[in-house]
Structure 1
Amino acid sequence: MIKDTSGQDKLCSPNKTRKFVRPLLVIGGGLLVTGLVWLSISSPQASFSINAEALRFATLEKGTLVRDISTTGIIVAANAPVLYSPEMGSVTLALMPGDHVKKGEVIARIESHALLSQFKQQGSVLEGMKSALERAKLDARRQQLTTERILDMARVDLVAAERESRRGDLLIKSHLISEIDFEAGKDTLQKAELLYAHSEKEVALMKDTLSFEIKDKASDVKRQSLVVTELTRQVAALELIAPVSGIIGNWLVEQNARVSQGQALFTVVDLSAFEAELAVPETYADELGLGMTVVLNFGAVTVAGTLSSISPEVINREVSARVRFTQDDSLHLRQNQRLSARVLLENKPNVLMVKQGAFVRSGGGQRVYVVQDNIAKSIPITLGARSMSHVEVLSGGLVGDRWVISSLDPFKKAHEVQLR
Structure 2
Amino acid sequence: MIRDTSAQDQVVKQKPNFVKPALLLTGVLAVITWTGFAMINSDTATVSVNKAQLKIATVIKGDLVRDISATGKIVAANAPKAYSPEQGFVTLNVKAGDTVEKGQVIAEVESPELNNNLKQQESELARLQGELARSELDARRQALALAKTLDLAQVELNAAERENRRAKISIEKRLISQIDLEKAVDDLAKAQLTFKHAEQEVALAKDTLAFELQSAKSQVVRQQLVVDELMRQVSNLSVKASVSGIVGNLLVQPKALVNKNQALLTLVDLSAFEAELQVPESYANDLGIGMEVELKIGSEQIKGTLSAISPEVNNREVTTRVRFAKNDISNIRQNQRLSGRILLENRDDVLMVKRGSFLNAGGYVAYKVNEDVAERVEINTGVTSINSVEILAGLKTGDQIIISNYDTFKNADAILLR
TM-score class, shorter: 0.7 to 0.9
Separation in 2, partners of 1:396, 1:405:
15
Corresponding residue of 1:249: 248
Deviation of residue 401 (structure 1)? 2.0
Find the residue that maps to 1:280 and give its secondary structure: strand
Separation in 2, partners of 1:187, 1:314:
102
Pair 1:203 & 2:202 matched? yes
After the TM superposition, which residues 338-377 of structure 1 pair with which residues of structure 2 at under 5 Å, given as runs?
Answer: 338-360=337-359, 362-377=360-375
Corresponding residue of 1:20: none
Deviation of residue 418 (structure 1)? 3.5
Aligned with residue 380 of structure 2, among 358, 379, 382: 382
Q: How many residues align?
A: 379
- State the one-letter code of the partner of 1:121: Q
Deviation of residue 287 (structure 1)? 3.1
Which deviates more from structure 2 when the two are superposed, residues 170-179 or residues 152-161? 170-179
Corresponding residue of 1:408: 406
After the TM superposition, which residues 161-200 of structure 1 pair with which residues of structure 2 at under 5 Å, given as runs?
Answer: 161-200=160-199
After the TM superposition, which residues 8-407 of structure 1 pair with which residues of structure 2 at under 5 Å, given as runs?
Answer: 44-316=43-315, 317-328=317-328, 331-360=330-359, 362-407=360-405
Distance 1:395 1:224, change over 3 A: farther
Whether the aligned pair in 2 keeps the contact of 1:280 and 1:321 (CA below 8 Å) is no
Distance 1:90 1:322, change over 3 A: farther
Separation in 2, partners of 1:41, 1:182:
162
Deviations 1:152-174 (CA, angstroms, capped at 9, x unpaired): 11111111111112122222323
Deviation of residue 123 (structure 1)? 1.4
Whether the aligned pair in 1 keeps the contact of 2:303 and 2:324 (CA below 8 Å) is no
Separation in 2, partners of 1:43, 1:104:
82
Q: Which sections of structure 2, spanning at least 5 residues, go unmatched? A: 1-38
| Identity in percent | 52
Separation in 2, partners of 1:404, 1:335:
44
Whether the aligned pair in 2 keeps the contact of 1:298 and 1:340 (CA below 8 Å) is yes
Which deviates more from structure 2 when the two are superposed, residues 278-287 or residues 186-195? 278-287
Deviation of residue 86 (structure 1)? 1.0
- State the one-letter code of the partner of 1:50: V
Distance 1:213 1:312, change over 3 A: farther
Which deviates more from structure 2 when the two are superposed, residues 189-198 or residues 313-322? 313-322
Distance 1:397 1:259, change over 3 A: same
Separation in 2, partners of 1:131, 1:382:
94
Q: Which sections of structure 1, spanning at least 5 residues, go unmatched? A: 1-39
Whether the aligned pair in 1 keeps the contact of 2:74 and 2:337 (CA below 8 Å) is yes
Deviation of residue 42 (structure 1)? 10
- State the one-letter code of the partner of 2:220: V
Whether the aligned pair in 2 keeps the contact of 1:87 and 1:110 (CA below 8 Å) is yes
Deviations 1:78-122 (CA, angstroms, capped at 9, x unpaired): 433211111111111122222233333222111111111111111
Distance 1:165 1:44, change over 3 A: farther
TM-score by length of 1: 0.83
- State the one-letter code of the partner of 1:206: A
- State the one-letter code of the partner of 1:160: A
Find the residue that maps to 1:250 and give its secondary structure: strand
Distance 1:49 1:354, change over 3 A: same
Which deviates more from structure 2 when the two are superposed, residues 60-69 or residues 271-280? 271-280
Find the residue that maps to 2:159 and give its secondary structure: helix
Separation in 2, partners of 1:193, 1:394:
115
Distance 1:42 1:401, change over 3 A: closer
Deviation of residue 298 (structure 1)? 2.5
Deviation of residue 236 (structure 1)? 0.7
Distance 1:92 1:52, change over 3 A: same
Whether the aligned pair in 2 keeps the contact of 1:297 and 1:340 (CA below 8 Å) is yes
Deviation of residue 175 (structure 1)? 3.1
Find the residue that maps to 1:164 and give its secondary structure: helix
Which deviates more from structure 2 when the two are superposed, residues 51-60 or residues 212-221? 51-60
Provide the alpha-carbon RMSD of the alignment.
2.4
Distance 1:103 1:368, change over 3 A: same
Corresponding residue of 2:22: none
Whether the aligned pair in 2 keeps the contact of 1:294 and 1:323 (CA below 8 Å) is no
- State the one-letter code of the partner of 2:417: L
Separation in 2, partners of 1:289, 1:89:
47
Distance 1:155 1:269, change over 3 A: same
Separation in 2, partners of 1:42, 1:323:
58
Separation in 2, partners of 1:383, 1:245:
52
Separation in 2, partners of 1:286, 1:183:
109
Which deviates more from structure 2 when the two are superposed, residues 391-400 or residues 281-290? 281-290
- State the one-letter code of the partner of 1:318: V
Separation in 1, partners of 2:372, 2:164:
145
Deviation of residue 312 (structure 1)? 4.1
Distance 1:300 1:196, change over 3 A: same
Whether the aligned pair in 2 keeps the contact of 1:380 and 1:396 (CA below 8 Å) is yes
- State the one-letter code of the partner of 1:143: Q
TM-score by length of 2: 0.83
